[in-house]
Amino acid sequence: MRFPDQIDILAEQLKTLLPMKPEDKQRLDKKFRLEFNYNSNHLEGNTLTYGETELLLIFGDTKGSHSMRELEEMKAHDAAYHLVEEWAKDKERPLTEQNIKNLNEIILVQPFWKDAITPDGQNTKRLIKVGDYKEHPNSVRLANGEIFEYAKPVDTPILMQELIDWYRGKEHSIHPVTLAAMLHYKFVRIHPFDDGNGRVARLLLNYILLRNDLPPIVIKSEDKNNYLRALNRADIGDYEPFIDYIAEQVVWSLELSIKAAKGESIDEPGDLEKKLAQLKKRIGQHTDTKIEVKYSTEVLRSVIENTITPLTIAWEDKLKDFDTLFLERNALVLAPGTGRKGTSLSETFSQFCDEQLRRRLLSPEPITEIKLDINFQKLRALNDNTSYNGGEVRFIFHQNAYEIEFIGSKKNISKLYHQSLSDDEIQHIVSTVGNWFFSNIEKAIDSN
């Protein structure tokens, strides 16, 4: 079935399923929002991953080493998307040149310097103004190395006015998909701004679709070559391939919307991977980290040598700061079925490893945890015999990873077995436990 018949049939089918249940509309809106913002920006070189886009727009958090500009432009593009949604709801509201300038101003956030190409093909830098038509020629280097020039700056205002006039003249006389595709192409052919033209073109395209009760479309960044190839065909006067390309994306959006309206899953191949990547970003785990080793006696010895021992030494140094407040200090090192007590944490742990742990490793049962426990007695300021918990750290061993649970923190640290605690992480644990202990001492003194 050819366009526009397939689109019209699907659109009618969707209408019979409306209104959607609130929860179905919410998950569909979220998918369109994330897919459109991620892909439209990714097409233009933004390096945020899909998971990082969701983390930023849905949870207001960031991970990864991205420039502030990339983060700001992603949030600004999201604001522009919501704006065209609002515009589209008002059927009496006309589209104006100022609206288009406003979109450009929103998505670019603020003026900035950008690499550019001179008319004779030389590299240069140019100050990019936002919300104003271009003052200098802009161009693109084609795959064959040739420079393709867009409309001249002096011609841009009149060409943009003609574009708005063309849109108003065709608004009710041609199919909305054809209207959206052609407005997109004509806008890109003018390239009225120094930057942001592609993103504004796709925002305008979705404005027209939404205004005509069609769902927004997403041009996937991995399909960039087909998208540009269809645009290039339009450059030689063959518009049908680009209109058909946009129509294919509308079919995808309609079919997705129908699934959502029926309460069906709208996940696509790869969506689970996206969700997992986003979850790993939220909890701070790198998506490219692989499980290299599993629990064994040798692996446990490596964790003891490279992580637990350095921690006991650093913690011992911190404990000395509290010694003058008390008359006694005791350290306790525990593992299931064995343990050792002493005064120095680092020495007690070393003796524990040399004696008790060696015998415990001969047992067929794996060691599931090691606990470091500190107790102080006889606080000088109160002249009493009360015992004070000076802090505790637990190392819990799983099949593929180990985690560190420490008092005073609401969040454990997880590591794969080939990973050791960094110096910063060790200091973080020691400081967190120390601050927790200090608070308890202060409360004890204040209560007396």
pLDDT in tens, 187-217: 999 999 999 999 999 999 999 999 999 999 9
Distance, in Å, from the CA atom of 18 to the CA atom of 126, rounded to the nearest integer, reads 49
Q: Which helix (H) or strand (E) holds 416?
A: strand 413-416
User: CA end-to-end span of the chain, whole Å?
Assistant: 85
pLDDT in tens, 309-366: 999 999 999 999 899 899 999 999 999 888 999 999 999 999 998 887 777 667 778 8
Q: Residue 247 is encoded by which pair of tokens?
A: 């129509």
pLDDT at 64 exceeding the cut of 80: no
Distance, in Å, from the CA atom of 34 to the CA atom of 433, rounded to the nearest integer, reads 40
Is residue 245 within 8 Å of residue 264, measured between CB atoms? no
Distance, in Å, from the CA atom of 68 to the CA atom of 63, rounded to the nearest integer, reads 12
Percentage of residues in the chain with pLDDT exceeding 90?
A: 67
pLDDT at 285 exceeding the cut of 90: no
Local confidence band at 67 (pLDDT 50, 70, 90 cut-offs) = confident
| pLDDT the model gives residue 146 | 75
| pLDDT the model gives residue 288 | 52
Percentage of residues in the chain with pLDDT exceeding 70?
A: 93
pLDDT at 43 exceeding the cut of 60: yes
pLDDT at 375 exceeding the cut of 60: yes
pLDDT at 290 exceeding the cut of 70: no
Distance, in Å, from the CA atom of 80 to the CA atom of 174, rounded to the nearest integer, reads 26
The mean of the pLDDT values for the chain is: 90
- Give the chain's largest Cα–Cα span: 94
| pLDDT the model gives residue 284 | 59
| pLDDT the model gives residue 180 | 98
pLDDT in tens, 297-322: 889 989 999 999 999 999 999 999 89
| pLDDT the model gives residue 85 | 98
Is residue 257 within 8 Å of residue 246, measured between CB atoms? no
CA atoms within 13 A on the CB side of 431: 6
Is residue 262 within 8 Å of residue 28, measured between CB atoms? no
pLDDT in tens, 256-281: 999 999 999 898 877 777 766 666 66
| pLDDT the model gives residue 37 | 96
Instruction: Please give the domain boundaries of the chain with CATH numbers for all domains.
Output: 5-279 (1.10.3290.10), 297-447 (no CATH)
Tell me the mean pLDDT in the region 73-86.
97
Q: What long-range pairs does 360-368 form, CB within 8 A, spacing at least 24? A: 360/335, 361/297, 361/300, 363/337, 365/336, 365/337, 366/295, 366/397, 367/300, 367/335, 367/336, 367/397, 368/336, 368/396, 368/397
The 10 Å Cβ neighbour count of residue 396 is: 15
Please report, for the chain, how many H helices and E strands are present, in that order. Answer: 16, 10
pTM over 0.85: no
Distance, in Å, from the CA atom of 313 to the CA atom of 308, rounded to the nearest integer, reads 9
Is residue 287 within 8 Å of residue 358, measured between CB atoms? no
Q: Residue 117 is encoded by which pair of tokens?
A: 């190409």
pLDDT in tens, 212-238: 999 999 999 999 999 999 999 999 999
Q: Residue 131 is encoded by which pair of tokens?
A: 């919300």
Is residue 334 within 8 Å of residue 371, measured between CB atoms? yes
| pLDDT the model gives residue 149 | 86
385, 406, 409 from 428: Cα distances, Å = 31, 10, 10
pLDDT in tens, 173-185: 999 999 999 999 9
Q: Residue 316 is encoded by which pair of tokens?
A: 């011992």
Is residue 34 within 8 Å of residue 48, measured between CB atoms? no
Local confidence band at 283 (pLDDT 50, 70, 90 cut-offs) = low
Instruction: Return the closest-CA partner of residue 181 out of 135, 239, 236.
Output: 239
Helix (H, G, I), strand (E, B) or coil at 21: coil
| pLDDT the model gives residue 281 | 61
pLDDT in tens, 92-138: 999 999 999 999 999 999 998 888 766 677 788 888 999 999 998 88
